[in-house]
């Protein structure tokens, strides 16, 4: 609270004071259970902006919590949910595939323009 009552927001401030985004206004950290409760409120139709102001959590962070919750929920509905390590490995393999395709496209475009790209040095 700011002297004189009211929050910095109510007193015409443009932003909330900088703090750890995982910290609640009372100084404690957001538990997974408390985040889930907030996400359920969002999924039930409460306004993102109103919740953001009420909880003093940036709207983009609330959206990220919701997205992570939904993704985790989808994994939970699968016959065999992915372990976090498996999920990271799949994400990394997908990214490697995307980067490999990007490199192939760029090399082909360079060849069409008559540019020569030196061969990649392989580690020994």
Q: Please indicate, yes or no, whether residues 94 and 55 belong to a single structural domain of this protein.
A: no
Asked if 9 and 17 touch (Cβ cutoff 8 Å), the reply is: no
Is residue 121 assigned to a domain? no
Helices (H), 12-112: 32-43, 48-55, 59-77, 84-112
What is residue 20's predicted lDDT score, i.e. its pLDDT?
52
Dihedral, CA of residue 87, residue 38, residue 55 and residue 58, to nearest 10: 30
Q: pTM score, two decimals?
A: 0.44
Alpha carbon distance 96, 54 (integer Å): 41
Statement to judge: residues 26 and 70 lie in one domain: yes
State the residue range of the domain holding 26.
1-81
Give residue-wise pLDDT tens across range 18-34: 555 566 655 568 888 88
Residue 24, SS3? coil
- Which range is least confidently modeled, 7-16, 29-38, 56-65? 7-16
For residues 75 and 90, membership in a common domain is answered with: no
Q: Whole-angstrom Cα distance, residue 116 to residue 51?
A: 55
Q: How confident is the model at residue 122 (pLDDT cuts 50, 70, 90)?
A: confident
């Amino acid at each position: 609270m700011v002297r004189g009552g009211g929050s910095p927001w109510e007193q015409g401030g443009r932003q909330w004071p900088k703090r750890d985004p995982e910290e609640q206004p009372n100084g404690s950290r957001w538990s997974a259970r408390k985040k889930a409760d907030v996400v359920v409120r969002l999924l039930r139709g409460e306004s993102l902006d109103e919740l953001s102001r009420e909880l003093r959590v940036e709207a983009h962070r609330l959206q990220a919590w919701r997205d992570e919750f939904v993704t985790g929920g989808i994994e939970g509905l699968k016959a065999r949910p992915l372990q976090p390590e498996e999920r990271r490995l799949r994400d990394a393999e997908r990214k490697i595939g995307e980067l490999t395709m990007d490199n192939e496209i760029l090399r082909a475009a360079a060849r069409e323009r008559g540019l020569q790209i030196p061969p990649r040095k392989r580690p020994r």
